Structure 1
Amino acid sequence: MVSAAAIDDSSLQLTFVLFLTVVVITLFTALLTAPQRDEISEFYLGDRAMSPLRNGLALCGDYLSAATLLGSTGLVALTGYDGLMYLGGTTVAWMTVLLLIAEPLHRTGRFTLGDTVALRLPRRQRPVRVALAVCVLAIATLYLVAQLVGSVALLTQFTGVPSGTTRTLCVVVIGVFVILYASLGGMPGATVIQIIKAVMLVAGVLFTAGWVLHRFDWNPGALLERASERSGSGLSFLEPGLRYGGTVSNKLDFLSLELAIVLGLAALPHVLMRLLTPRNAGVLRSSVVWAVGLVGAVCLGAGVLGLGATALLGRDAIESTDRTGNAAVLLLAHELGGSVLTALLTCLAYLTLLAVAVGLTLAGASSLAHDLYGGVIRRGRAGETEELTVARLSGAVIGVLGILLALVARGANTATLAFLAFAIAASAILPTIVYTLFWRRFSAKGALFSLYGGLFCSVLPAVFSPVVSSAPGSFYPEADFAWFPLQNPGIVSIPAGFLLGWLGTVLDRGPGEDPATHEEFEVRMLVGADD
């Protein structure tokens, strides 16, 4: 965090007015579109008659967080080529969803991933649903805390390091909005804010990127040349290795991070839940294509913004304000359009934080209510009104838990928390999805090994990494118990998750599933009940 305000007070005041206006409008709309009947399908899936474009916008809104607008542009501004490669991985990640996961999951799922596993492993589904709920809760909570901590980091750009009261108020206000959207609005309410956020994000990023290019007479070559001149690194700014080069550890860190991003997206709970909302696989396919295009456009625009910040402001000015680079896009906005553009992009960043947090809270609440309560505790006998009540209460509980953890983890690095969530998703949930869909022999024991083992292999290296101790930016910089050298555990935990899923299945000597069950599952996966 910076020690002094990066942006003037007028921008903060205008941001507050704009954000409050957008939140009031979207919250009112979300409540109007909220489920009016006690039907869990409406709460979990919302309006299944939406067009591919609207579904694509909702998918885009679910995925793109403030890290894309602030963190990614800052990474490009400070590291050039390496930052652009990171953005490229974000776009490529959606191809994994489109080609591997989307349609088979949609055809075999109902409300959650637990329903797909239950259809594939009906005899021993209960312990697998418990394991899935644990992993989903871990991912959703980590990512939710990252969003709430990020709201304080964003406020810091205006006020300097905020007081304890201001920090608490910021987290609590955002957290309460999250609970209202998720618990009262359900999927219809979440969809409203996701679509509005996606439209604003695409328009805002592309408009500002166009303004940057206009300053350089629409000549990308001139932009790149000026950015390299003012980066302090010369042509090295446009070559790989400025951040993730040099030592073997740095290169492995980059590979580990890219693996977590590319593979983790396909297993993020709120993205998986959104894949179940289109009415049929054809609409889903078109929706994901729209999402790929929209995410790619935002990432392209973010790259231009990062380069533009370096070209117009210089790396020294950005680092002197915020060494992480998160202030780059706000400083650029102030340079281009003064307080008005700064306020617009800051409002957009807060709306982005809020929208992603709502999706995460809803996904966590759905897993707790449908998988844990409905499928395990009540063994499928819970009425719709009963399960809906539990889902709403679960949303409130997860929201409160996120608020409390965000207040405790006030100095946490938001990017680290988010990327750890990606690593857990890629290490625990993705192997379970892939094996469930595509391996005939896969068993419940293999699923448990993959889920719990992937979670353990993600969290343990992270605890004993430079993220927690031994480095200046660690949680405990004074201590030194970091034996794992990388910032992200993905390069170790993802192969471990797949290996453990295979090992658990091979070692499983219990009674297998009825072969007819897998044949029925396979037909449904390939053909679907709605196509």
Structure 2
Amino acid sequence: MVTTSFTASSTTAAGVADAFSLRLTFVLFLTVVVITLFTALLTAPQRDEISEFYLGNRDMSPLRNGLAMCGDYLSAATLLGSTGLVALTGYDGLLYLCGTVVAWMMVLLLIAEPLRNAGKFTLGDALARRLPLQQRQVRLALTVCTLAVCTLYLVAQLVGSIALMTQFVGEPGPNTRMTIVIIIGSIVTIYAAIGGMPGATFIQVVKAVMLVAGVTIVTVMVLNRFNWNVDSLLSSAVAGSNLGDAYLQPGLRYGGGPISKLDFLSLQLAIVLGLAALPHVMMRLLAPRQTRVLRTSVLWAVGLVAFVCLMAGIMGLGATAVVGRETIADIDHKGDAAVLLLAGELGGEFLTAIVSALAFVTLLAVAAGLTLAAASSVAHDLYGEVIRKGKAKETEELGVARIAAVAMGVLAMVIALLAWGTNTATLAFLAFAIAASAILPTIVYSLFWRGFAARGALLSLYGGLACSVLLVLFSPVVSSTPDSVYPNADFAWFPLQNPGIVSIPAGFLLGWLGSFLSPPQDETVYEDFEVRALIGADQR
């Protein structure tokens, strides 16, 4: 899925897997890391050209580019968090998985092709072409939002790597946490700083292939366990849940009242709309040289993501049927251990190690894409266009991009260590809410509204960001509940944990208001932009 649901207290102190699985996981993970790092160094940009660093080899086949999109998007939560959600909540967990596929359909139908046609290296290039008179102010605002989204999501991945380790060793000490974060963060930084887009693409393709193969193997073993009879799987899952027919009916997780239902709707809005505005996903949309390659690539991505989500649903049901819902909940109340327990029951220590190593690799791939997207925005939009006003040399901008990647990695590692104990799902959900509330309105208005003005873009970007953050600060995420950051305080006047249902309309409203209050726009600017966005040209 798109988020990670790991928490600091998600497992018991004893851990889930044994020492042999831990050692085998380490060997498998280290093997993948060594191979991918070596390949990333070989495929790293050989010339001091920013186009190669930002977009890499633009002659990739649609399948390879679709695999990279899939790898850039699906995180360890698809394998662990979403599977566990299905295992614990049945129908509601399956409904949660559907949001991912719907989100990709929106990208395919609304955003992908016109954005690729209008852009160059980053989204800032498309906005600069659409709003040329105040392009530097818009680029600055976009960079701020990009850094906010990438930092939150990257920290969620790094903290998730610590929580994943608790499945083996129980609650880790400070030294263990620091070691894990530094190792994962350093590897990610190398991928982004040295390998650029070619290096990140390779690890994303490897991750996607491994993820598809891994979930297929586990799912086949689940279905074989029940003689390929879906009715038998469902009835066994109902029996294993000890909840009766309620397990396959809506309301088990999100049916606690109107507030709970609104919270779920708010979450799904952020997921469906936020995907189209995630910086690392948008950067991947700009990579194909030809429009037809992009179109086919996104189709591949939609199919692969839908397939993995379907497999995650079957694995979740299989975990409940084979392991039992209460056993899963006793070991891990969030359900992240469900697929590991299922793997242990079906294939023993070896399969558990494979699944665990796969989870670590998924963390690496997503984190590498986020780091690269943040570094590109800082180097190209902030330094190259705002500070140097388009006069920076390519070697100069490339050096800034690599320094920015290192700085981003170090910052994320520091925040991840400080944020230990925070529910990382909150960080990821906030990242999606900011993307949907600040960046998406700017994209949609830029592409499809003739009257959109720079003032509207600035209000959408800054206003959507501020609205999302403020609503979370004054929500139960921060205070008033036992699971809050400050459980003993009570200043949560906003009742929902996910702000999207309010912040997303606010972002669109602010974009409209700012444009409405602006002077009339030059019609020829939009007409030229519209021709390029709708017709485009294959880029050299």
State TM-score, norm by structure 1.
0.99
Specify which of 110, 115, 118 is matched with residue 105 of structure 1. Answer: 115
- Whether 1:516 and 2:519 are equivalent positions in the alignment is no
Contact 1:123/1:513 (CA < 8 Å) preserved in 2?
A: no
- Whether 1:525 and 2:533 are equivalent positions in the alignment is yes
Residues in 1 aligned to 2:281 and 2:71: alpha-carbon distance in whole angstroms: 10
CA shift, 1:347, in A, is 0.4
Residues 201-240 of structure 1 mapped to structure 2, 5 A cutoff: 201-240=211-250
- Whether 1:47 and 2:57 are equivalent positions in the alignment is yes
Report the 3-state secondary structure (helix = DSSP H, G, I; strand = E; otherwise coil) of the residue aligned with 1:123: helix
> For residues 421-445 of structure 1, what are the alpha-carbon distances to aligned partners after superposition, in whole Å with 9 as ceiling and x for unaligned?
1111000000000000000010000
Specify which of 478, 486, 502 is matched with residue 496 of structure 2. Answer: 486
- For 1:196, the equivalent position in structure 2 comes to 206
* AA matched with 1:150: G
* AA matched with 2:56: G
- Whether 1:279 and 2:289 are equivalent positions in the alignment is yes
Q: Which moved more, 1:436-445 or 1:459-468?
A: 459-468
Residues 119-130 of structure 1 mapped to structure 2, 5 A cutoff: 119-130=129-140
Residues in 2 aligned to 1:206 and 1:88: alpha-carbon distance in whole angstroms: 19
Report the 3-state secondary structure (helix = DSSP H, G, I; strand = E; otherwise coil) of the residue aligned with 1:401: helix
Residues in 1 aligned to 2:382 and 2:256: alpha-carbon distance in whole angstroms: 47
Residues 317-396 of structure 1 mapped to structure 2, 5 A cutoff: 317-396=327-406
* AA matched with 1:208: V
Specify which of 6, 12, 18 is matched with residue 3 of structure 1. Answer: 12
Residues in 2 aligned to 1:518 and 1:250: alpha-carbon distance in whole angstroms: 42
Residues in 2 aligned to 1:208 and 1:476: alpha-carbon distance in whole angstroms: 40
Residues in 1 aligned to 2:339 and 2:164: alpha-carbon distance in whole angstroms: 11
Residues in 2 aligned to 1:485 and 1:328: alpha-carbon distance in whole angstroms: 30
* AA matched with 1:439: W
Residues in 2 aligned to 1:326 and 1:466: alpha-carbon distance in whole angstroms: 22
Residues in 1 aligned to 2:126 and 2:48: alpha-carbon distance in whole angstroms: 23
Contact 1:470/1:478 (CA < 8 Å) preserved in 2?
A: yes
- Whether 1:95 and 2:105 are equivalent positions in the alignment is yes
Residues in 2 aligned to 1:305 and 1:412: alpha-carbon distance in whole angstroms: 27
CA shift, 1:232, in A, is 2.1
- Whether 1:169 and 2:179 are equivalent positions in the alignment is yes
Residues in 1 aligned to 2:478 and 2:439: alpha-carbon distance in whole angstroms: 24
- Whether 1:26 and 2:39 are equivalent positions in the alignment is no
Residues 452-463 of structure 1 mapped to structure 2, 5 A cutoff: 452-463=462-473
- For 2:482, the equivalent position in structure 1 comes to 472
CA shift, 1:92, in A, is 0.8
- Whether 1:150 and 2:160 are equivalent positions in the alignment is yes
| Superposition misfits of 4+ residues, deviation over 4 angstroms | none
Report the 3-state secondary structure (helix = DSSP H, G, I; strand = E; otherwise coil) of the residue aligned with 1:175: helix
CA shift, 1:478, in A, is 2.1
Residues in 2 aligned to 1:471 and 1:149: alpha-carbon distance in whole angstroms: 22
- Whether 1:15 and 2:25 are equivalent positions in the alignment is yes
> For residues 468-493 of structure 1, what are the alpha-carbon distances to aligned partners after superposition, in whole Å with 9 as ceiling and x for unaligned?
12222221222222111111101010
* AA matched with 1:115: D
- Whether 1:133 and 2:126 are equivalent positions in the alignment is no
- For 2:3, the equivalent position in structure 1 comes to none
- For 2:260, the equivalent position in structure 1 comes to 250
- For 2:75, the equivalent position in structure 1 comes to 65
- Whether 1:499 and 2:515 are equivalent positions in the alignment is no
Residues 423-442 of structure 1 mapped to structure 2, 5 A cutoff: 423-442=433-452
State TM-score, norm by structure 2.
0.97
Report the 3-state secondary structure (helix = DSSP H, G, I; strand = E; otherwise coil) of the residue aligned with 2:132: coil
* AA matched with 1:3: T
Report the 3-state secondary structure (helix = DSSP H, G, I; strand = E; otherwise coil) of the residue aligned with 2:59: coil
* AA matched with 2:140: V
* Superposition CA RMSD, Å: 0.8
* AA matched with 2:524: A
- For 1:415, the equivalent position in structure 2 comes to 425
Residues in 1 aligned to 2:356 and 2:163: alpha-carbon distance in whole angstroms: 12
Residues in 2 aligned to 1:478 and 1:210: alpha-carbon distance in whole angstroms: 47
Residues in 1 aligned to 2:214 and 2:271: alpha-carbon distance in whole angstroms: 24
- Whether 1:82 and 2:99 are equivalent positions in the alignment is no
- For 2:4, the equivalent position in structure 1 comes to none
* AA matched with 1:394: A
Q: Percent identity?
A: 70
CA shift, 1:296, in A, is 0.3
CA shift, 1:513, in A, is 4.4
* AA matched with 1:225: S
Residues in 2 aligned to 1:165 and 1:422: alpha-carbon distance in whole angstroms: 31
Q: How many residues matched?
A: 529
Residues in 1 aligned to 2:421 and 2:362: alpha-carbon distance in whole angstroms: 21
Contact 1:223/1:311 (CA < 8 Å) preserved in 2?
A: yes
Report the 3-state secondary structure (helix = DSSP H, G, I; strand = E; otherwise coil) of the residue aligned with 1:499: helix
Report the 3-state secondary structure (helix = DSSP H, G, I; strand = E; otherwise coil) of the residue aligned with 2:335: coil
Residues in 2 aligned to 1:164 and 1:134: alpha-carbon distance in whole angstroms: 31
* AA matched with 1:159: V
CA shift, 1:135, in A, is 0.2
Contact 1:461/1:484 (CA < 8 Å) preserved in 2?
A: yes
Residues in 2 aligned to 1:254 and 1:369: alpha-carbon distance in whole angstroms: 37
> For residues 321-356 of structure 1, what are the alpha-carbon distances to aligned partners after superposition, in whole Å with 9 as ceiling and x for unaligned?
110101111111111111110110100000000110
Q: Which moved more, 1:291-300 or 1:463-472?
A: 463-472
